Amino acid sequence: MNRIEKTFQLLNNNGSKAFVPYIMAGDGGLDSLVERLQLLEKFGASAIEVGVPFSDPVADGPTIQQAGIRALNNGTTLKGIVAKLAEARESINIPIILMTYLNPIYAYGIASFVHDIQNAGVDGCIIPDMPLEEEDIIAPKLEAAGIELIRLVTLTTPIERIKQIATKGNGFLYTVTVKGITGVRNEFDGDIHAYLQAVKEVSPIPVLAGFGISNQEQMLDLTKNCDGVVVGSRIVDLFAKNNLAEMEQLMSIFKQKSNIV
């Protein structure tokens, strides 16, 4: 049982929901990464998703794309990120989940990538452009290293395929709540609750909602039918504006209220 499983077991025992913030590594300078991870843990994050900047981020909306460009312009590399995560692990206790596309992994070398993120204390890996049919190129290596491959399902994924994907691994199922890319949304499809409920009913692992979630009302509303939320663009934007007080308030209110949803 790695940190991800232990975290969700603890949340479940406490009747609480997960809050997983996303940050772009290297946005604001790679030297700020450890401090930002420490801050998010202090504010009450259940786990942290760390994005790797990439030149062609097909799943990312404007806010995260711009953060990736800033990070690349700062000279951020995957090797540099992994080194900083190893440094962060000395003081961070919650799960760290690395989100990257396949191309940087290929460039790094699959075996070397898995070896190095394992040594850095990474608990999970999200690879949004890798379909289930192709994951054998890396999934067995991650499993052997004790790193969870976090898989995604979407509003257009057939229920039988959701069942198939949900039986893989022991981390959580990343459930995309919009038809499109990341980014703040004012509202979601009217059938979003039925969708989350359907996924929850067939998934043996925790279900987290992500993409487009930006305020407490959305977070608390969506967690009526799932185990937590991933919040990306809003967190990235608040870091870019150095608005740490609002970030702390956002996370604090969610943590206080989510256990009564």
Q: Please indicate whether residue 143 is annotated as part of the active site.
A: no
pLDDT reading at 181 higher than 80: no
Q: How would you write 92-148 as a 3-class SS string?
A: CCCCEEEECCHHHHHHHCHHHHHHHHHHCCCCEEECCCCCHHHHHHCHHHHHHCCCE
Tens-place pLDDT, residues 39-76: 999 999 999 999 999 987 776 778 899 999 999 999 99
Long-range pairs of 75-81 with CB within 8 A, sequence gap ≥ 24: 75/26, 75/30, 76/25, 76/26, 76/30, 78/52, 78/104, 78/107, 78/108, 78/113, 79/108, 79/116, 80/26, 80/30, 81/25, 81/26, 81/30, 81/33, 81/50, 81/52
pLDDT reading at 187 higher than 90: no
Which structural domains are found in the chain, ordered by start? 3-253 (3.20.20.70)
Cα dihedral across residues 85, 126, 150, 207: positive or negative: positive
- pLDDT score at 259: 67
- pLDDT score at 216: 86
- Do residues 212 and 175 touch, judged by C-beta distance below 8 A? no
What's the rounded Cα separation, in Å, for the pair 38 and 41? 5
Q: Please indicate whether residue 60 is annotated as part of the active site.
A: yes
Average per-residue pLDDT for the chain: 92
What's the rounded Cα separation, in Å, for the pair 212 and 252? 19
Reported as a pLDDT band with limits 50, 70 and 90, residue 179 is low
What's the rounded Cα separation, in Å, for the pair 28 and 259? 33
Tens-place pLDDT, residues 118-152: 999 999 999 999 999 999 999 999 999 999 999 99
Which residue in 60, 116, 123, 227 is the catalytic one? 60
Which residue in 5, 41, 49, 237 is the catalytic one? 49
